[in-house]
Structure 1
């Protein structure tokens, strides 16, 4: 006797219906907004905004906020917040400068010490939030004030400079043409292989996918953007080292959040923490790790900031936490938790850096810059709320 399947066949869907199912309004709205911002500043600056030198400076300026935003995404997805990352950036960058300028430590040891300090700070936050049940808002607000005070005490109100050339090059260096071409080629191959392997896996398990033609067009579009960006950067000096670092961190943490057990559990916690706990997820341990990663990334941003300024100052990182949070929200991360992605946060960081860069080129007064960035953040949250429907 033959056995009949009890599973009803999935009806074939039209091209446009499948396309609409795959459309993510939040993601594409911010990309469109970025394009509009660039066009406006290009017109207002008489084309100076899009010259290779300015785009290179913009990419370097964006990198610090992007590194902070990568860590902030995981914190917000887990339904927490970290208000201390700007102060952690300033403190770790200041300690790095003190160790090198006053005590003459070599660059690798200085970087290692800064990152280790960031990990300890993250573990301190995680202990209070995960094991003592103190709200993350209070824990990190306390850190926001305490670490800034420690920085003032360590630097004694002084600007500590200059850094060793081997440290300064972390932010000021550029990748030569041949390594850059190799990097771009590998990136394009990884993109193409990754997208089509993902498509094949979805088909194998019966998930809905984009039409093949649309998938190919989208991959070609991304490849063209990569080539265009690379060509533009090499019209000036090349690919800045901080941009390469951001790309590497984006790939690593996008993989962690999307393709690992830890990442899935963090999103599960953001969706419903009690259900995650009942399903066997060690919520306290995952919370601890999330805060450690966020502070480690803040310490990396601190190293980049000190290298860029070639000095440590008592004001370094002031307001950086707000830019990081705004970048995440603009990039589609929901403050309610459970929703967000790393590439979206990078787009958000690019939007914030573009606003700063463009308004500075136009000599816009500082108070207008704060007003406009605040309005953009409010608009992004409104879009987030409306597109949930």
Structure 2
């Protein structure tokens, strides 16, 4: 069979489109940083502010990591803010009122989040109730439970060990060791991927391009580590985000479970005909989301050194917005964890920068809402172009 004449131009077109989508977020983030850096006289780029910025974005980033898989699977979770507030409240109550140790209350919060995620997933997967309705009900239920068990009180203060989860920093030397190890891991992963492709007889990319790009990433990692070390070091919550992100990147890209989730979101009927257990995988996605909500609740409560009945309000919308800004399609089947984390960083940067400029709070909501609408419009437009091609 003869090869189509237009095959090569099509490959170049797809490659260009992929590169444009890959780098659009990074370019947008750089522009936001530069604009706020100029408008704040460089204060936005100070080591202290960067440290605070990364600490602020961690809760939304953790929620966005789990939300990515939920949306990729073709669902939505409107309860994550209330669930984070409830699990954080459970942790605070167990420690302040009952004297539990830090490790046990953290485990209890994550387990409670996973169990409540299991409950919601059961309704969605095995009782065919739309996720929108189940999680909307869960948002109200979890907020009500939090008010009930806390008796409407702010539960505080927490032990020093618990406060350290979100308010401590890594020693400078360990920060540099972790940065170098992370850069080395990037190069090893790229080399291993290229080696596997060679063994399978597949086409490999230009080594200069691959390792040159990784060299730039590594330099950025070291520069960021240097900037953070100029203040107090790398915030521990940032390491939690990096670990959670790395784990879920591995799950989504390197496991059959991750591939099945993308298949379910892309075409559920075809996935079922392929033998994928739709119900079990849908249930698992909500369990993972619940566990991450528990992690987010612990970080939030630790950072505030208190649990209140309003903790986590509207966080679900910020998490969804971070995913959409990061390229996750609300129609399912497409999205990635890295994009969601960058989306959370963009959202936090907008809040942080506008606050430093003393811009009224309502403008922050307006700007984030407009960005969300534009992000969804771009997603829909790109899908239309893909179908037309």
- With normalisation by structure 1, the TM-score equals 0.94
Q: 1:335 to 1:19 in 2, by over 3 A?
A: closer
Structure 2 residue aligned with 1:273, among 268, 279, 296?
268
Report whether the alignment pairs 1:294 with 2:300. no
- What is residue 34 of structure 1 aligned with on the other side? 29
Looking at structure 1, the residues matched to 315 and 261 of structure 2 have their Cα atoms a distance apart, in angstroms, of 24
Contact 1:163 1:311 in 2 (8 A): yes
Contact 1:27 1:332 in 2 (8 A): no
Structure 2 residue aligned with 1:115, among 110, 113, 118?
110
1:22 Cα deviation after fit:
7.2
Give 3-state SS (helix, strand or coil) of 1:312's partner: coil
Looking at structure 2, the residues matched to 133 and 12 of structure 1 have their Cα atoms a distance apart, in angstroms, of 43
Looking at structure 2, the residues matched to 129 and 54 of structure 1 have their Cα atoms a distance apart, in angstroms, of 42
Looking at structure 2, the residues matched to 378 and 134 of structure 1 have their Cα atoms a distance apart, in angstroms, of 27
Looking at structure 1, the residues matched to 373 and 201 of structure 2 have their Cα atoms a distance apart, in angstroms, of 39
Q: 1:377 to 1:22 in 2, by over 3 A?
A: closer
Structure 2 residue aligned with 1:195, among 176, 190, 198?
190
Looking at structure 2, the residues matched to 299 and 27 of structure 1 have their Cα atoms a distance apart, in angstroms, of 30
Looking at structure 2, the residues matched to 210 and 358 of structure 1 have their Cα atoms a distance apart, in angstroms, of 39
- CA offsets, 1:169-220, max 9 Å, x none? 0001111122222211211111001022223333444555432221122111
Structure 2 residue aligned with 1:73, among 68, 74, 79?
68
1:158 Cα deviation after fit:
1.2
- What is residue 126 of structure 1 aligned with on the other side? 121
- What is residue 227 of structure 1 aligned with on the other side? 222
- What is residue 240 of structure 2 aligned with on the other side? 245
Superposition pairs for residues 34-73 of structure 1, below 5 Å?
34-73=29-68
Superposition pairs for residues 198-213 of structure 1, below 5 Å?
198-205=193-200, 207-213=202-208
Q: 1:267 to 1:20 in 2, by over 3 A?
A: closer
Looking at structure 2, the residues matched to 375 and 365 of structure 1 have their Cα atoms a distance apart, in angstroms, of 16
Contact 1:265 1:276 in 2 (8 A): yes
Q: CA RMSD in A?
A: 2.1
Contact 1:19 1:211 in 2 (8 A): no
- CA offsets, 1:347-379, max 9 Å, x none? 001000101111111111111111000001111
Looking at structure 1, the residues matched to 377 and 142 of structure 2 have their Cα atoms a distance apart, in angstroms, of 33
1:21 Cα deviation after fit:
4.8
Looking at structure 2, the residues matched to 136 and 7 of structure 1 have their Cα atoms a distance apart, in angstroms, of 48
4+ long deviations beyond 3 Å: 11-14, 16-24, 202-210
Q: 1:98 to 1:110 in 2, by over 3 A?
A: same
Report whether the alignment pairs 1:174 with 2:162. no
Give 3-state SS (helix, strand or coil) of 2:125's partner: helix
Superposition pairs for residues 16-31 of structure 1, below 5 Å?
17=12, 20-21=15-16, 23-31=18-26
Looking at structure 1, the residues matched to 205 and 379 of structure 2 have their Cα atoms a distance apart, in angstroms, of 24
1:29 Cα deviation after fit:
1.2
Looking at structure 1, the residues matched to 167 and 149 of structure 2 have their Cα atoms a distance apart, in angstroms, of 26
1:12 Cα deviation after fit:
11
Report whether the alignment pairs 1:341 with 2:358. no
Unaligned runs of 5+ in 2: none
Report whether the alignment pairs 1:376 with 2:371. yes
Looking at structure 2, the residues matched to 248 and 157 of structure 1 have their Cα atoms a distance apart, in angstroms, of 34
Unaligned runs of 5+ in 1: 1-5
